Amino acid sequence: MKWRLQEGRGEAVYQIGVEDNGLLVGLTEADMKASLNTLKKMAEKVGADITLLREREVDYDSDRNTRKIAEVLVRKVPDDQQFLDLRVAVLGNVDSGKSTLLGVLTQGELDNGRGRARLNLFRHLHEIQTGRTSSISFEILGFNSKGEVVNYSESRTAEEICESSSKMITFIDLAGHHKYLKTTIFGLTSYCPDFAMLVVSANTGIAGTTREHLGLAMALKVPIFIVVSKVDLCSRGTVERTVRQLERVLKQPGCNKVPMVVLNPDDAVTAAQQFTQSTCITPIFTLSSVSGKSLDLLKVFLNILPPLSNSKEQEELMQQLTEFQVDEIYSVPDVGTVVGGTLYSGVCREGERLVVGPTDEGCFLRLKVGSIQRNRSACRVLRAGQAATLALGNFERSLLRKGMVMVSPKMNPTICCQFEAAIVLLFHAKTFRRGSQVTIHVGNVRQTATVECLHGKDELRTGERAVVRFHFIKHPEYFFATD
């Protein structure tokens, strides 16, 4: 019997069938039922549920009876009650239907064709008036241990969704207009998404910032899948033309991707399994947020999609010293100063003492972590890779800024005013040379820097590479160590 095909933290996909010379030849119907019952009992012993993903018949010459193989998802709630959390950045050109799609997925109601589903996602009045996202917002979609969708339908709150979910998808809704490109880049670099979902409107195709967003995700090595929206507005020929256009772009030398159009649940299961195993596969979904066509295929895909890191890698990160990057700063009545961000490494607990910085003078200041919340639910312990908000009590907000880090005092953090990096010039209207000023995005750091030196070259043009020395013009920064 062949078992594990993929395994993530708290979930695994199993394939059931007799193995003969490396091939699955299937089980009779009676044996299949017995195997599923056995697996179900095994899952119950460890507090897990099983979901039958797909079942198909196979040919076996030596037996005229029908034989079947099956794939089963086994998912459990971890012992510490920490749900599996995946972050998905949502990219695409303005008016491609990103916020509407997220509204339909998370609210559980189809759109009316005039943008009703996206209203709950907008944070500012001008976003509601124009229908265009200009800031970064977060929406959650849960799946329970049986693979059923848990969202805001039935008047659930964020706390109830977290309590009922074994797996959580956090969507990072980013701006599509070129005017807010810096905000989109900050979302991609700072919030460390596991995957990116590129939304393309079927009636306009690859337009506006679509190519830029695709290039950014690929440059940052974020695995990307594509959703072709608004298929209800177009003829079948128009949708096929848009898909062919995407396939041509993905197959170009700069991308080297293998497009995979998802047409049925079987394709969705295969796409989810191969997506993380091969960096070349790019699933493509064609759906409508108004009619609901093929929405279930996207939900199946998200339900099965495994995390990129396994349990061992997660444990290794948790053994390191605490490093928390500050992405947002708030002042909350009766709570005080609150910071939001992602724990890069280590473990953070309530009452822990850390240092935050660097300040404009390059110093680090001591502080104490108060309460911790994840997805608006209280949390006593924060683990590496998780995003949360931390209450800092009476710590002066004016001393904080986006781009700072909170680290363990044992780390003895070092900072830099200048650094060197190997770069590729994706596009520049003029030549890139010494003295040029650029905006640097590294993790949660976003600051203007001056080009001090290009090693081996006097200038760069589009498509060229070089090692460049940059110097920050305002204050020093802290960079997270990478391999």
What's the CATH code of the domain at 63? Answer: 3.30.70
289 in the same domain as 338: no
Name the average pLDDT for the chain. Answer: 88
In a domain, 478, yes or no: no
Average pLDDT over residues 17-31: 72
**What is the percentage of the chain residues whose pLDDT exceeds 70?**
93
Tens of pLDDT, residue by residue over 244-275, are 999 999 999 888 999 999 999 999 999 998 88
Examine the pLDDT at 3 and tell me if it is beyond 60.
no
Tell me the per-residue pLDDT of 177-213, one tens digit each, with 9 for 90 and over. 999 999 999 999 988 899 999 999 999 999 999 999 9
Instruction: Tell whether 482 is covered by a domain.
Output: no
Asked whether residue 477 is domain-assigned, the answer is no
Residue 437 pLDDT exceeds 50? yes
Classify burial at 121, counting beta carbons within 10 Å of its beta carbon; exposed 0-12, middle 13-18, buried 19 or more: buried
Domain holding 399, by residue range, is: 313-411
Summarised one tens digit per residue, pLDDT across range 392-401 is: 989 999 999 9
Extract the tokens encoding 291: 């009619």
Cα torsion through 356, 422, 174, 253, rounded to 10:
-160
Q: Do 284 and 353 belong together in one domain?
A: no
User: Taking the model in full, what pTM does it have?
Assistant: 0.89
Query: Are both 374 and 465 inside the same structural domain?
Result: no
Residues 146 and 235 in one domain: yes
- Residue 36 predicted with pLDDT over 70: yes
pLDDT value, residue 426: 78
Instruction: Tell me: pLDDT of 288 over 50.
Output: yes
Is 483 part of any domain?
no
Q: Is there a single domain that holds both residue 180 and residue 216?
A: yes
Six token digits for residue 52: 């039958």
**CATH assignment at residue 179:** 3.40.50.300
Pairing of strands 281-286, 258-261: parallel
Same domain, 366 and 464: no
Q: Are 107 and 230 found together in one domain? A: yes
Domain assignment present for residue 206? The answer is yes
Which tokens belong to 456? 């081996």
Rounded to 5°, the CA angle 326-332-338 comes to 20
Residue where a domain stops, chosen among 290, 308, 326:
308
Rounded to an integer, what distance in angstroms lies between the CA atom of residue 220 and that of residue 188?
Answer: 8
Q: Tell me the mean pLDDT in the region 10-29.
A: 74
- 66/88 same-domain check: no
Q: So what's the pLDDT on residue 16?
A: 82
For the ranges 37-41, 56-60, 318-322, the lowest mean pLDDT is seen at 56-60
5 pLDDT band, cuts 50/70/90, is very low
> What's the total number of domains in the chain?
4
Looking at 279, 308, 337, the residue that finishes a domain is: 308
Q: Are residues 389 and 346 located together in one domain of the fold?
A: yes
The tens digit of pLDDT for each residue in 73-110 reads 888 765 555 678 899 999 999 999 999 999 999 998 99
Closest to 56 (Cα-Cα) out of 29, 19, 23: 29
Strands (E), 315-458: 323-332, 336-345, 347-349, 353-357, 365-368, 372-374, 377-378, 381-383, 387-391, 405-407, 418-424, 432-433, 437-442, 445-454
Closest CA to 300 of 277, 281, 273: 273
Residues 219 and 334 in one domain: no
Does the pLDDT at position 375 exceed 90? no
Residue 144 and residue 280 in one domain: yes
Whether residues 258 and 206 share a domain: the answer is: yes
9 belongs to a structural domain: yes
* Amino acid 314: pLDDT: 80
Band of residue 65 on the pLDDT scale cut at 50, 70, 90: low
Asked whether the beta carbons of 72 and 36 are under 8 A apart, the reply is yes
Q: Is the pLDDT of residue 160 over 80?
A: yes
CATH code assigned at 386: 2.40.30.10
Residue 32 is assigned to a structural domain of this protein:
yes
In a domain, 169, yes or no: yes
Residue 1 pLDDT class (50, 70, 90 cuts): very low
Last residue of a domain, one of 308, 326, 342: 308
Q: Residue range 427-438: average pLDDT?
A: 86
